[in-house]
Amino acid sequence: MTESAPPRLRFAPSPTGYLHVGGARTALFNWLLARRTGGTCLLRIEDTDKARSTEDSTKAIFDGLKWLGLDWDEEVVFQGANLERHQRDAEALLASGKAYRCFCTPEELDERRKEAAAEKSAFKYDRRCDELAASEVERRVAAGMPCVIRFRVPEGETAWDDLVHDRIAFPNKDIEDFVILRSDGTPIYNHAVVSDDIAMRVTLVMRGDDHISNTPKQILLYQALGAPLPRFAHLPMIHGTDGKKLSKRHGATAVGDYEHMGILPEAMVNFLALLGWSPGGEFEEVMTLDQLVAAFSTDNLLRKASVFDPKKLEWMNGQHLSRVPLAELEPRVTPLLVQAGLATAADLAARRAWYFALLDLLRVRSRLLDDIVRQAGPYFRDEIEYEAEAVAKQWKEPAVVGPLLAATRETLAALGPWEPAAMEESLRALADAKGVGGGKIFQPLRVALTGLGVSPGIFDVMVALGRERTLARIAQAERHLAGMAGGAG
Ligand code: GLU
């Protein structure tokens, strides 16, 4: 394969419960690069830890990737199904003298580890089983003595040109002869990964930089197995806003949690893409998936840890909420409105034009899908709840506001066509006639119509509500204010 051949990439999550945002970021970067270069993006489920890998957690990964809109080429590889190859590769290393059997028991190793700790020296396997005569090894194997297979680390240095960090080198003397196959015949992570990456012809390994210390071991295995080396790109860690590694302490870390919070997948993808990558120079942060694909390159991968700021994610979501085609937004909001008991799907379908106009109105002031649902109440319910803060601010003087609202209602009732320009003209004329500014009419009216202190433009609100509901709601507010004024007097 030549240098310029499109890369074969893979995302290799361990199914341990859910798709972590860090894993999602790794998946996204691999996917973006594959799509950008015409390469191949593979998925490998590293389910060798049978105790922790369940079907549910594998499904959580598939669901998370699907929600984000990330797909993969070729069939999914389940690492656990490759056990025989892992064993064959380990045997091949034994046969070529690059690995050896080690009969030291865990208890013996623990003992030596303790001794090293007592002497304050770093523990490293002392290679005593490498000294065993071939006949003795045969004897022990024949006697059924349990053993692991260890890789014999050669002298020298192991280095690579990382696409993120440039050259990284490890002196081999710091790497002990590591185990590749356990005594039960199952492979250790580094060995399984290399065996699989070779079999899958992966040419670029892009993963979190918490794997940097594994990479020299993996390179040594590639070399010992006589396989061409892939390139490596180690992505910076994701930190919380306090600069510490992102964990549950910082809030949700599962991609699925963000889905349930009302984050759009477009926003999540956009947000994740900017954790550890930037298009470079001056750039527009809000990007669609297609724009991300077009801009993505390994040249602008960042070295520094990136910060997962939930506020920024919300902001990003607001931006995408305002931009996605309404036809795409609708299927995401409808189930939430139905769930909130505001409407039925059939009702919304019957009033599609009105519903789309309402969505268009409400999304402007929304950051989360829930914000749309919360604001939607007044357009669906007959009953209205007045937000205490809005009442305190805009209905401070019921005796003044009440009559102004009554005059507003009469003006609107007399209006010809129910459209914004006419509403505005007549209500501004009313304000002039009463000798007050427009705000004295519009702000209390907003509370009367929506119960809220913040809403879309007041004329748009009235169009969305319709004439009848608008007038009824003002009348209801007048009664409420009369009660307040009575109570106060
Ligand atoms: N399964 C490993 C993990 O989830 C990743 C292995 C790799 O990318 O090499 O951290």
Return the residue whose CA atom lies nearest to atom 6 of ligand 1.
Answer: 12
| CATH code of 226's domain | 3.40.50.620
Catalytic residue among 50, 248, 304, 311: 248
Segments forming the whole domain that contains residue 154: 82-188
- Ligand 1: distance of its center to the CA of 102 in Å? 26
pLDDT along the chain (489 residues), means of 10: 80 92 97 98 91 84 96 96 98 97 96 93 93 96 97 98 97 97 96 98 97 98 98 97 90 90 95 95 92 96 95 96 96 96 97 97 94 93 92 95 97 96 97 96 97 92 96 97 75
Judge if 100 and 168 occupy the same domain: yes
Given ligand 1 and candidates 8, 9, 14, 219, which is best to mutate, with the most ligand atoms within 8 Å of its CB?
A: 14
Query: 454 CB contacts (<8 Å, ≥6 apart)?
Result: 365
pLDDT at 415: 95
Judge if 195 and 343 occupy the same domain: no
| CATH code of 437's domain | 1.10.10.350
Cross-strand pairs, 151: 99
Number of domains comprising the chain? 4
Position 410 in a domain: yes
Judge if 15 and 52 occupy the same domain: yes
Position 262 in a domain: no
- DSSP secondary structure of 339-368: HTTS--HHHHHHTHHHHHHHHHHHGGG-SS
- Ligand 1 atom closest to Cα of 11? 8
Judge if 403 and 357 occupy the same domain: no
Strand 99-102 vs strand 148-151: parallel, antiparallel, or unpaired?
Answer: antiparallel
Judge if 234 and 370 occupy the same domain: no
Q: Select from 380, 402, 422 the last residue of a domain.
A: 380
Sign of CA dihedral 177, 182, 185, 188: negative
Position 270 in a domain: no
Q: Identify whether the C-beta of residue 251 lies closer than 8 Å to the C-beta of residue 304.
A: no
Position 66 in a domain: yes
DSSP 184: T
pTM exceeds 0.85: yes
Q: Is the CB of 192 under 6 A from ligand 1?
A: no
Judge if 407 and 471 occupy the same domain: yes
Position 431 in a domain: yes
Q: State the Cα–Cα distance between residues 301 and 273, nearest whole angstrom.
A: 10
Q: Is the CB of 9 under 6 A from ligand 1?
A: no
Sign of CA dihedral 150, 153, 154, 158: positive
Judge if 353 and 226 occupy the same domain: no
pLDDT at 2: 47
Judge if 400 and 354 occupy the same domain: no
Strand 179-181 vs strand 148-151: parallel, antiparallel, or unpaired?
Answer: antiparallel
Position 215 in a domain: yes
Position 268 in a domain: no
Q: What is the dihedral of CA 406, 407, 408, 413, to 10 degrees?
A: 90
Judge if 229 and 151 occupy the same domain: no
Percent of the chain as helix, strand, coil, to the nearest 5: 55, 10, 35
